[in-house]
Amino acid sequence: MLKRFTVFCLLVIFVFVLASCGQSEESNVNEELSEKASEFVSQLVDGDYSSAFASFDDDMKAALPESDLQAAWEQVLTQVGDYKGEVGKRTDQAEGYDRVFVNSEFEEATIDIIVVFNSEKEISGLFFQ
């Protein structure tokens, strides 16, 4: 009976160790991308559009030139007022891309700034919801 209990306890510990190892790697990726997304939003807030634009992959650079990025951000400010700060973040994956939802408070509303990353950790999508 004692042997069964010992084996059971060892199996439970082994399962928890394996589970935590898998979460740790994913957590590190999510933390890195979360920081990159926050940095990107800070660049927009500071008006540093060239640095924000430099984070784009080639497809995004073609689809949203730097001047259009600036115009898009200014349109967001026109609609929801001045940026107040980051409220929180969450991450998920969709169709092979990592998405970071930067929940952001503005004068008139709180919205998600969704920053989409490709496998090279370049920005390949940007949405304001």
pLDDT value, residue 8: 37
Tens-place pLDDT, residues 44-91: 999 999 999 999 999 999 999 999 999 999 999 999 999 999 999 999
CA–CA distance from 89 to each of 34, 51, 105 (Å)? 7, 21, 12
Q: How many Cα atoms occupy the beta-carbon half-sphere of 100 within 13 Å?
A: 26
Euclidean distance between CA atoms 19 and 81, whole angstroms? 43
Nearest to 64, CA basis, from 120, 129, 115? 115
Cα–Cα distance measured from residue 113 to residue 101, given in angstroms and rounded to the nearest whole number: 6
pLDDT at 29 over 80: no
The alpha carbon of residue 50 and the mean position of all alpha carbons in its chain are separated, in whole angstroms, by: 20
Looking at the predicted structure, is the pLDDT value of residue 5 above 50?
no
122 pLDDT above the threshold of 70: yes
The tokens describing 58, both together, are: 């080639």
- Measured in degrees and rounded to the nearest 5, phi and psi for residue 55 equal -80, -10
Residue 20's pLDDT is what?
38
pLDDT at 23 over 50: no
pTM of the model: 0.78
Locate 14 and state its tokens: 């082994």
The type of residue at 91 is T
